[in-house]
Amino acid sequence: MDEDGSSLGVMNTQDALKLAQGKQMDLIEINPNSKPPVCKIAEYGKFNYERQKRDKQAKKNQTNIELKEIRFNPNTDKHDLDFKTKHLRQFLLDGHKVKATVTFKGRMITHPEFGKQLMADVVSKLEDISKIESPPRMEGKQLIAYFIPDKNKIQTVKTPPDKTKPDGNTTV
């Protein structure tokens, strides 16, 4: 390739180097794995600067998904459950992955049904905006479930339905 992007065709490596030196530029190997390798005649400093600029822009446009965790106790009261579930809901609406943990302490592990019921309540409260990445499962003395935001469900929750009067006119 020439400095303006036009193709020069297949040529010998020595001929390409002489052509680049004649223009006082560099011969830069773009794709060494292709047959024949693809090279470009350009200034290496400018080429490297533009490549770094592209990489930086790609990194900036990358989305980072954080894992947020909320811990529950099998004896968590209804108000606390609602409060913590509201936080989980907000994390999901912000696009984060969420981990809900029910921790059993001491002899609470003898009644895992309390924790399972609590986790079922959490799942039912979050099912309208999320997908369960992994269903609730026991890991030692913890019952753990992972949720990821469901963009389609969130979109339907965020957009309110049209408010129309019975005669078909919209309210303003």
pLDDT at 135: 85
Collapsing DSSP states into helix, strand and coil, what is residue 148?
Answer: strand
Using 70 as the pLDDT threshold, list the residues of the chain that sit under it. Answer: 1-6, 160-172
pLDDT at 31: 84
CA distance 120 to 100: 11
For the domain with range 13-60, which CATH number is right: 3.40.50.2000, 3.10.20.80, 3.10.50.30, 3.20.20.60?
3.10.20.80
In 3D, which of 166, 165, 98, 106 has the Cα closest to residue 132?
Answer: 98
Domain ranges of the chain: 13-60, 67-158
pLDDT at 163: 58
pLDDT at 53: 93
Collapsing DSSP states into helix, strand and coil, what is residue 60?
Answer: helix
pLDDT at 103: 92
Query: Which distant-in-sequence residues (6+ apart) come within 8 Å of 171 by Cβ?
Result: 163, 164, 165
Helix (H) or strand (E) run with residue 29 in it: strand 26-31
**Strand-pair partners of 139:** 142
Dihedral, CA of residue 78, residue 84, residue 86 and residue 87, to nearest 10? 180
What are the backbone dihedrals phi and psi of residue 97, each rounded to the nearest 5 degrees, phi first?
-80, 145
What are the backbone dihedrals phi and psi of residue 2, each rounded to the nearest 5 degrees, phi first?
-85, 175
CA distance 102 to 81: 11
Cβ atoms 31, 1 nearer than 8 A: no
For the domain with range 67-158, which CATH number is right: 3.30.420.40, 3.30.110.10, 3.90.1150.10, 3.80.10.10?
3.30.110.10
36-84 tens-digit pLDDT:
888 888 888 988 999 999 999 888 877 777 788 999 998 888 999 999 9
pLDDT at 38: 86
Q: Hey, how many other C-beta atoms are within 10 angstroms of the C-beta on 3?
A: 14
In eight-state DSSP terms, residue 61 is T
